Amino acid sequence: MKQLLILGAGTGGTMMANHLVRKLDQRNWQISIVDEFATHYYQPGFLFIPFGIYQPDQVMRPKTDFLPKGVNFIQQPIEEIKASSNQVVLRDGTILNYDILIIATGVKIAPEMVAGLTDSGWHEQVFDFYTWEGATALAKKLQDWQGGKLVVHLAELPIKCPVAPLEFAFLADWYFHKRRMRDQVELTLVTPLSGAFTKPRSTAVLNHLLADKNIHIVTDFYTERVDGTARKIYSYAGQEVGYDLLVTIPTNAGDPVIARSGLGDELNYVPTDKYTLQSKNFENVFVLGDATDLPASKAGSVAHFQAELLTENLLNFINGKPLEPTFDGHANCFIESGFGKAFLIDFNYEVEPVEGRFPLPIIGPMALLKETRLNHWGKLAFKFIYWNLLLRGIPIPMITARMSKLGKKIK
């Protein structure tokens, strides 16, 4: 029996398992998925925990709840991928042979890669919200915080969910207004970007919103180090920004197993064909989600679209057919802006976020690149969609894996 092995039972790996169990003949193929952790986290929900919108237990469920029958779940740490010999070595010494390998090991924050970040005040005056532990610790801190300089700090790119730092700043503005202490908080966003986002048209809109909300922005800030004792962050250009409370998005990096296996770049991202999702170095290895080095957003929607298209390309590969260059970098995401409103953006490799309607032209009902209450409710509804449709590989009605240009004001 042939072996198809998936590394990582997060968003991308779980969706692939669900797609493939319905597509492959299980008399000929055994599908196995390896992950050392038992709990699946709804990571977009981490953003809401510090502000009390979600409670910590609302964003976690057992991974086995979403893995289909017929898939062999191996809960073990991965020691090494030996791609040249089609083997994966587990921490306990077990060797798994494969005919096809799918790498979906994701991305993790790496605070140790930012000089001084964890030396003093980590989870006391310095917090992340990209982990369950960081988000819950920050929630406790904000409950009693009496104000001062709150800095939202983006160390470097790429990061998963690129809009999350903005969302945190917008929600912090709302949160402190709700607590009637906004005038006691100086909010600053520090970013290596030249504006609020990576794309010009959306950057103009979001920069304007930052100004309206009296959120300062420090751009082109390339972090050299953090001094937790002095409570300052320093750039290579000699800039410094002081803080009383630092909410940081540290360097993001691929799983350390990628480095141990010699398969990645300097940040442990796997070189991947941007259209077919095939490894650039091994023809029977495919990569999706945050583990890739693609110039696409590291967001759950991207893994969702990739999983649909990769399933078809895997069938092509198995049947000896040419791979189709079908993935276009499609991403869409809500940007929570506070006070019960949000934006929605939809874009790909070639088309930046623009105004329009989504998912249907003219009637929408969602508005693109505009702040609406319906977009906010869409953001909250996505948790239900994630648990009940997306993870299980069930298509979301009217939303296609390849980006549609219909309804978009593309100039």
User: Which residues are CB-contacts of 127 (< 8 A; sequence separation ≥ 6)?
Assistant: 134, 137, 138, 141, 245, 246, 247, 248
The verdict on 366 and 342 lying in the same domain is yes
Helix axes 200-212, 164-178, angle to 10 degrees: 20
Whether 407 maps to a domain, the answer reads: no
The three-state secondary structure class of 248 is strand
Cα atoms in the 13 Å half-sphere on the side-chain side of 291: 28
The verdict on 271 and 352 lying in the same domain is no
The verdict on 280 and 346 lying in the same domain is no
Report the alpha-carbon distance of residue 360 to residue 362 in Å, rounded.
Answer: 6
Whether 182 maps to a domain, the answer reads: yes
- Which residue range(s) make up the domain with 265? 2-53+60-106+255-318
Report the alpha-carbon distance of residue 239 to residue 342 in Å, rounded.
Answer: 32
The three-state secondary structure class of 370 is coil
Amino acid 199: pLDDT: 86
Domain tally, the chain: 3
User: Which residues are CB-contacts of 366 (< 8 A; sequence separation ≥ 6)?
Assistant: 344, 357, 358, 359, 372, 374, 375, 378
**pLDDT tens digits, the chain, 411 residues: what are they?**
999 999 999 999 999 999 999 999 999 999 999 999 999 999 999 999 999 999 999 999 999 999 999 999 999 999 999 999 999 999 999 999 999 999 999 999 999 999 999 999 999 999 999 999 999 999 999 999 999 999 999 999 999 999 999 999 999 999 999 999 999 999 999 999 999 998 899 999 999 999 999 999 999 999 999 999 999 999 999 999 999 999 999 999 999 999 999 999 999 999 999 999 999 999 999 999 999 999 999 999 999 999 999 999 999 999 999 999 999 999 999 999 999 999 999 999 999 999 999 999 999 999 999 999 999 999 999 999 999 999 999 999 899 999 999 999 997
Report the alpha-carbon distance of residue 201 to residue 358 in Å, rounded.
Answer: 17
Q: What pTM does this model have?
A: 0.96
Q: What is the pLDDT of residues 178-230, one digit of tens each?
A: 999 999 999 999 999 999 998 899 999 999 999 999 999 999 999 999 999 99
The verdict on 228 and 208 lying in the same domain is yes
Q: What is the pLDDT of residues 309-366, one digit of tens each?
A: 999 999 999 999 999 999 999 999 999 999 999 999 999 999 999 999 999 999 999 9
CATH number assigned to the domain comprising residue 216: 3.50.50.60
